[in-house]
Structure formats: structure tokens, C-alpha cells
């Protein structure tokens, strides 16, 4: 399989995602518009689906693309014969690959995100492990940026939402040198999103905060919704 073929498949999968209902993004419509989002996903769905602004995509992003005269089969057939290392630049332009994220051309984005984190009143980390627990260096520059920003911004609470949240919290605490206001929530974001959306529809509310007056609803909905959610966070 050529690099061009991999790029075509990746672009197709990303485009397909833009036409599906995805509760893990839909739920942002019920969250505060005053929040800012930093998404490391290539799919660009945070920019496309989330009403919050600004939305940063430090790894770049792709939107759905119409192939015009070229069908997917035709493009795959062409890609299989394309041995050029430059094909990625036109099939999936602008994406930041492993080993590229700390390059000089991305310095401005790193500075903008650093300022955002340094001045944040609170941070919620959803399903992003910054490469913690792996031997990969991908995202390590963003781990260092996060640690530096919240080392300075020492009073801002940090919430980690991930099935492995406690371990991630422990590693962040060791790097940031604090445990105060550093919280772990071992949840699957896809499952939690489905629960929150179902509860919001049940009570016809416009903001998730309004669920505070319905404390029993989340437990009841979770029993019927979350346990059947098999998708990753």
C-alpha cells in the first residue's frame, strides 16, 4: 500500500464522519459558548460541529470533499500506482504528522494555544492522553506546552475525562507539580455524551447545567444508554 493510498483512505474516512450524527460532538451544543476548544483530531469536526469559538486544530484538519469527476475507486486505483512521497500534500493538505508538530512553521499555533491555556479559568481534557503511557513522541510537544501553561496558571482547575483518567491525572500531577484542583473522571466520553443528550431531551432543556435540578435522571439514563455504548472515548 502506497502512502498515497493511505492518504486517500484517511481522507475518505474523515469525509464520511462529517455526514454522521456523532453525540460526542453534538453535546457541545448544550455546553457554554464561552468555552474555547483545542482539538487534536484531524477530522475538523470540532470546528464544524461545536458552536464554541475559538476552535484550534493544532494538527490541522480536513473537511468533507466532493471528488467531482473522480470516484473513490478511481482515486484509489491511481493512488496504488503513485509512489511519490509528495502525494500527501494534495490529498490531505495541511495535516501535521508525527515528528512535524514541533517544527518552526507551527510555532505560532503553539504560542496561541499556550496563551489560551495560560489564561484559562478551567481546563477539561477529553480523551486526549498527550502520548502519556506510550513510547511515542507524538503530542509530546503539546504535553510540554500544557505542563508549562498550567504550571504558571496554577489556580485553574483541570478535569481529565478518560477511561484511564486516574493514571493520566497522576502523570500530569507529577509534571505540573501539583495535585490541588487536578481531577480525574474515569468515563467514556461517547457514552457520557449519549447520556447527557438523552437526559437533555427528556427534560427539554437547552443547557446541560439545568440537569442539576434533575439529579436522578442521569443515573436512570446511564443504566439504559451508557452500558450499551461500545465506541471508544
Backbone conformation region of residue 124, classed left if phi is above 0, alpha if psi is from -120 to 50, else beta: beta
pLDDT digits (tens, 9 = 90+) for 23-74: 999 999 999 899 999 999 999 999 999 999 999 999 999 877 665 556 778 8
pLDDT digits (tens, 9 = 90+) for 178-214: 999 999 999 889 988 998 998 888 888 888 888 887 8
End-to-end CA distance of the chain: 29
Four-residue CA torsion sign, 113, 114, 116, 122: positive
Q: What is the pTM of this model?
A: 0.84
Please say whether the beta carbons of 141 and 173 come within 8 A: no
Four-residue CA torsion sign, 61, 193, 142, 146: positive
Residue 233: pLDDT above 50? no
pLDDT digits (tens, 9 = 90+) for 112-164: 999 999 999 999 999 898 888 777 777 889 999 999 999 999 999 999 999 99
Amino acid at each position: 500500500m502506497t502512502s498515497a493510498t493511505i492518504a486517500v483512505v484517511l481522507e475518505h474516512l474523515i469525509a464520511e464522519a462529517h455526514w454522521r450524527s456523532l453525540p460526542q460532538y453534538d453535546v457541545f451544543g448544550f455546553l457554554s459558548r464561552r468555552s474555547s476548544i483545542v482539538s487534536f483530531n484531524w477530522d475538523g469536526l470540532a470546528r464544524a460541529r461545536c458552536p464554541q469559538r475559538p476552535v484550534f486544530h493544532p494538527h490541522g484538519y480536513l473537511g468533507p470533499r466532493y471528488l467531482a469527476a473522480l470516484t473513490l475507486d478511481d482515486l484509489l486505483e491511481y493512488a496504488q500506482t503513485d509512489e511519490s512521497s509528495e502525494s500527501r500534500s494534495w490529498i490531505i493538505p495541511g495535516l501535521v504528522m508525527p515528528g512535524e508538530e514541533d517544527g518552526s512553521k507551527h510555532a505560532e499555533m503553539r504560542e496561541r494555544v499556550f496563551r489560551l491555556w495560560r489564561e484559562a479559568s478551567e481546563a477539561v481534557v477529553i480523551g486526549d492522553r498527550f502520548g502519556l503511557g506510550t513510547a511515542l513522541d507524538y503530542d509530546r510537544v503539546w504535553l510540554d506546552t500544557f505542563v508549562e501553561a498550567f504550571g504558571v496558571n496554577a489556580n485553574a482547575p483541570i478535569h481529565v475525562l478518560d477511561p484511564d483518567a486516574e493514571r493520566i491525572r497522576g502523570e500530569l500531577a507529577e509534571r505540573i507539580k501539583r495535585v490541588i484542583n487536578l481531577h480525574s473522571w474515569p468515563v467514556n466520553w461517547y457514552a457520557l455524551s449519549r447520556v447527557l443528550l438523552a437526559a437533555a431531551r427528556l427534560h427539554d432543556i437547552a443547557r446541560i447545567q439545568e440537569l442539576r435540578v434533575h439529579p436522578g435522571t442521569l443515573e436512570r439514563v446511564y443504566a439504559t444508554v451508557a452500558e450499551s455504548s461500545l465506541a471508544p472515548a
